[in-house]
A and B are shown apart, each in its own frame.
Chain A
Amino acid sequence: MHELSLALEVVDIAQREAGKQGVTAVSEILIEVGDLSGVEADAFQSALELVVKDSVLEKALVNLQRTPGTGKCRSCNVGFQMKTRVDTCPNCRCFPSEITGGDEFRIVSLTID
């Protein structure tokens, strides 16, 4: 996925929210990256490091919170952990499964001093 544009979006959101608070720096940002969100967390973190210069996030601690993927089988209703979107049900081998968690990609919070 396109981690660089997503990193730029994060900077824009942080700029806007910091502006609302009347501050010019954010000390910490908590971002939730689900394992099934389609975002490569490592690539996203590298991209974010590239684009924070001269922004409110320049000195911010970036805290990525990984959320594991979870799913539910559409046939037998068994819930299970999903490593990828194409995992089959461990109980009945059915496919596809309904994704119940791990597709989040969002800014949870910003911390300002």
Chain B
Amino acid sequence: MCDTCGCGNPDEFKIHDRDGHHDHKNAHDHQHDHDHDHGHHHTHDHDHGHDHHHGHSPSHSHDHAPKKVINLNMDILSENNRLAERNRGYFEGKSILAVNLVSSPGSGKTTILEKTIQALISSRKIFVIEGDQQTARDADRIEKSGAPAIQINTGSGCHLDAKMIHLALKKMEVDSQSILFIENVGNLVCPAMFDLGEQKRVVVISVTEGDDKPLKYPYMFQSSNLCIINKTDLLPYVDFSVDTAVNYAKQLNPDLEFIQMSAKTGEGMPEWLIWLNKL
């Protein structure tokens, strides 16, 4: 279990296809052949160099062969980043606009998508990858709006990663020239670190949350291109200051764009559709 956000093993995820089948994936098959033979002792020969690349190594016993240090200097996210670049190349090759939607749970991502699909479906092909820990409810909602959707259940995992998107793309043929919305798991922490290969990242906050959210979750706001402030129809009833939220977010990311929206009333939808169409 992840001590920070409470999520569990992220590799136990499954992808629902629209025929009701789903695949379980477990990407971490470890080798189980271990060499437990530690019985060989070598006399330490002081004629050869004892090569210490790092000064941090704790107590060495000198009754074994010299250690071999493999200098890797490898970014731990390099495999995710490599797969994300593959996804990005696939999207570019097919002129697919991939947009990753991130937010805390309940900010209105799915409703925004439903309204967006209804507004655009006559002029653009739209596909959706839905990420949730459990259930295919969101994919069902999206399909009712008229766009093909595939649901990834991350199980106890708390974010989508590039490999899940890669596998979902094998299940769902995404047409050229279309828009692919990827609705990430509701979580403002973990998804920030995982590039999916998207062209644009959109962070959604709602006015029922605190206006200091950007300061509390700086990584997500620093890594996004657009911030949608949703549920503005509720502004008269809450203590949320749009100016405060925008100022905090701009301090973190001066290039961040903003759209105030009420997916319920339609406020801000025209600006959002213009933003999408100019990409």
A5-39 residues with Cβ-Cβ distance < 8 A to B are 5-6, 8-13, 15, 17, 19, 21, 23-25, 27-28, 30-31, 38
Q: B251 on the interface (CB 8 Å rule)? A: yes
A5-B56 CB under 8 A given contacts A11-B30, A109-B72, A113-B67: no
User: Which residues of A lie under 8 Å from residue B74 when comparing CB positions?
Assistant: 13, 106-107
> Taking CB as reference atom, which chain A residue is nearest B192?
A38
Q: B170 on the interface (CB 8 Å rule)? A: no
A107-B161 CB under 8 A given contacts A4-B10, A30-B54, A85-B222: no
A15-B1 CB under 8 A given contacts A105-B75, A113-B64: no
Taking the closest CB of chain A, its distance from the CB of B244, in whole angstroms, is: 15
Q: Pick the contact of A6: B31, B76, B192 (CB < 8 A).
A: B76
B42-76 residues with Cβ-Cβ distance < 8 A to A are 53-54, 56-58, 64-65, 67-76
Give the interface SS of chain B, mostly helix, strand, loop or mixed: loop
Q: What's the Cα separation between A31 and B73 when bound, in Å?
A: 9
Q: Pick the contact of B71: A25, A31, A95, A109 (CB < 8 A).
A: A109
Give the interface SS of chain A, mostly helix, strand, loop or mixed: mixed
Q: What's the Cα separation between A59 and B71 when bound, in Å?
A: 19
A105-B57 CB under 8 A given contacts A54-B30, A111-B67: no
Q: Is the CB of A24 within 8 A of B67?
A: no
- The size bracket of the interface on A is 35 or more
Q: B190 on the interface (CB 8 Å rule)? A: yes
Q: Is the CB of A107 within 8 A of B76?
A: yes
> Taking CB as reference atom, which chain B residue is nearest A28?
B57
Q: What's the Cα separation between A5 and B28 when bound, in Å?
A: 10
**Which segment of B32-40, B90-98, B144-152, B201-209 sits at the interface?**
B32-40
Number of B residues near A (Cβ < 8 Å) is 55
Q: What's the Cα separation between A10 and B73 when bound, in Å?
A: 12
Taking the closest CB of chain A, its distance from the CB of B65, in whole angstroms, is: 7
Q: Is the CB of A110 within 8 A of B193?
A: no
Q: Is the CB of A56 within 8 A of B67?
A: no
User: Which residues of A lie under 8 Å from residue B251 when comparing CB positions?
Assistant: 86, 95-96
User: Which residues of B lie under 8 Å from residue A21 when comparing CB positions?
Assistant: 68, 70
Q: Is the CB of B28 within 8 A of A8?
A: yes
Q: Is the CB of A56 within 8 A of B193?
A: no
Q: What's the Cα separation between A84 and B215 when bound, in Å?
A: 11
B interface with A by C-beta (< 8 Å): 1-5, 7-11, 28, 30-35, 53-54, 56-58, 64-65, 67-80, 157-159, 161, 189-190, 192-194, 215, 218-219, 222, 251-254
Contacts beyond the supplied A9-B80, A109-B53: 15 A-B pairs with Cβ under 8 Å: A2-B5, A2-B193, A5-B157, A6-B77, A10-B76, A11-B30, A38-B219, A47-B2, A50-B1, A54-B32, A86-B218, A86-B251, A109-B69, A109-B73, A112-B68
